[in-house]
Amino acid sequence: MELLIQLLGMLIVPALLLISILSAAIKVVQEYERGVIFRLGRLIGAKGPGLFFIIPIIDRMVKVDLRVVTLDIPSQEAITRDNVTVKVNAVAYFRVIDPEWAVVQVEDYRRATWQIAQTSLRSVLGQVELDDLLAHREKINERLQHIIDEQTEPWGVKVSIVEVKDVELPPSMQRAMARQAEAEREKRAKIIHAEGELQAAKTLAEAAGTIAREPASIQLRYLQTLTEIATEKNSTIIFPVPIEFLGSFLHILERGTEYLAQAANARAEGNRESEADR
């Protein structure tokens, strides 16, 4: 019995050693990963996905994730080209396209990309004006993406998208922009009002020309006005009198006044002659 126990003890140690060697030799790499193999410190290559074997102790494997990584760029304070202090944050999307270079060329490609993104954001902000930052954000995004991708390309990292998220302005600048926007709205309102008055003046001028060429049109307009007044329920109605009617009335009134004056003079002359005969 003791001999059996000793035999089992002697077998357990090699079995455990064999299991540990096999576990170190068998490697499984997921579909979205690659395993970069080093043999005695020398790069052998990238393997995966799937199951494969390496030589324990001699070989070393480093896994690299090939999926897209979201990188938040914290707020960076910078001075724009027109001397305005702003705080801007952004987000970048990148992925590893060459796992071998991502392991060999840089110690930590995630941290290195993060640092490059921050410095590039501050650099670009110092080269643009505030109006461009607010109105042409797409161009700034493209510029940032090109700069960061150009610097991370030797590391086997591809930066696909960079988006500026929030632009924080000083309170004084916010108030100034609000006043400017209000003044711009008032300016547009005045321009629209002036254009409306100009169009109305042109329409009135055309109508006056038509009336001057066609005198009967004023009479038709007079009748139309009377018809509109008659349809309304008003207790007091004021009849508009055309200027032609008013001129004729004044002419008749003037002739009547002259006639009455002549008759009065003739009567007075007759009275004087009667008194002279007496």
Size of the chain, expressed as the number of residues it contains: 278
Paired with 216 in beta bridges are none
pLDDT for the residue numbered 56: 87
Q: CA torsion angle for 128, 130, 131, 132 (degrees, to 10)?
A: 30
What is the model's pLDDT at position 243? 56
Domain(s) labelled CATH 3.30.479.30 in the chain stretch across 69-169
pLDDT at site 4: 64
Task: Identify the pLDDT of residue 102.
Answer: 95
Residue 111: C-alpha distances to residues 98, 131, 152, 241, 259 (Å): 17, 32, 11, 90, 114
Per-residue confidence (pLDDT) for residue 200, from 0 to 100: 78
pLDDT tens string, the chain, 278 residues long: the values are 666 666 666 777 677 777 777 777 888 999 999 999 999 999 999 998 999 899 888 999 999 999 999 999 999 888 889 888 899 999 999 999 999 999 999 999 999 999 999 999 999 999 999 888 888 999 999 999 999 999 999 999 999 999 999 888 877 766 666 677 667 777 887 888 888 888 877 887 776 676 666 666 666 666 666 676 666 666 565 655 555 555 555 566 667 677 667 766 776 666 666 666 55
What is the CATH superfamily name and number for domain 69-169?
A: Band 7 domain (3.30.479.30)
Look at residue 190 in the predicted model and tell me its pLDDT: 82
For residue 69, is it left (φ>0), alpha (ψ between -120 and 50) or beta?
beta
Query: Would you state the structure tokens that stand for residue 54, as one six-digit string?
Result: 């390496």
Q: What is the pLDDT of residue 239?
A: 56
